[in-house]
Amino acid sequence: MLGSKSGFVSRVKEIAPEVTVTHRMIHRQALASRTFPRELQAISDNAIKIVNYVKSMPVNTRLFKQLCKDLDSEHQLLLFYTKVRWLSKGNVLNRVFELREELKMFLDMQDKEPIFFNDPLWKPRLAYSADIFDQLQGKDTTVIHFVDTLRAFVAKMKNWSRKVSSGNFAMFEKLCEVAEGREEETESCLQN
């Protein structure tokens, strides 16, 4: 289908021989996302485990949906994560962040409270991870737009690093929401 000898690539190169072909552009970024710091990777893994627990049984899904409905939550469903569509990881992290209190309550009712909910750094790290993935995603993203976004993101990282070292978290919306009044904890969570 994409073939360089008889597929799409060869036909494009007949018309525009100077074109550069990039195979699996997003796949490279998926591999890069696996180099997250260990602490942030654990947050992501824990969030996915929570989602899998709730979504694995239809009764859990219905109970969680009813709980969210009763609490007038903004969302009533969790998003399912698959490794094939790595961009869904950011959406999953965002939804878990938005429904974190409902999830804690649901897991308490199920007598399945994970230890990490009691960790004071779990919420700021979840917020930070969700913010990072927000920066790399968007609706109707094309490869060209994605490359531009990735370049801009790398450039922003230098600026963000400088600002975070001086205690300014304004560029991380969810982290600011969590960090209000807890600046020391948030700085230490990002440095660990």
pLDDT tens for 78-116 read: 887 766 555 577 788 889 999 998 999 998 888 887 777
Residues of the chain with pLDDT under 70: 1-6, 21-35, 82-87, 135-146, 180-192
pLDDT number for residue 83: 65
Helices in 24-142 by DSSP H: which ranges? Answer: 25-33, 38-56, 58-70, 88-98, 100-109, 122-136
pLDDT number for residue 102: 92
Label residue 99 exposed, middle or buried (CB < 10 Å: 0-12, 13-18, 19+).
Answer: buried
Residues in the chain: 192
* High-pLDDT (> 70) share of the chain, %: 72
What predicted TM-score, i.e. pTM, was given to this entire model? 0.62
3-state helix, strand, coil in the chain (%, to 5): 70, 0, 30
pLDDT number for residue 23: 54
pLDDT number for residue 69: 92
CA dist 92 → 15, 89, 100, 131 (Å): 41, 5, 12, 12
Nearest CA to 128 among 187, 86, 73, 78?
A: 187
Q: 21-52 burial, b for 16+ CB within 10 Å, e for fewer?
A: eeeeeeeeeeeebeeeeeebeebbebbbebbe
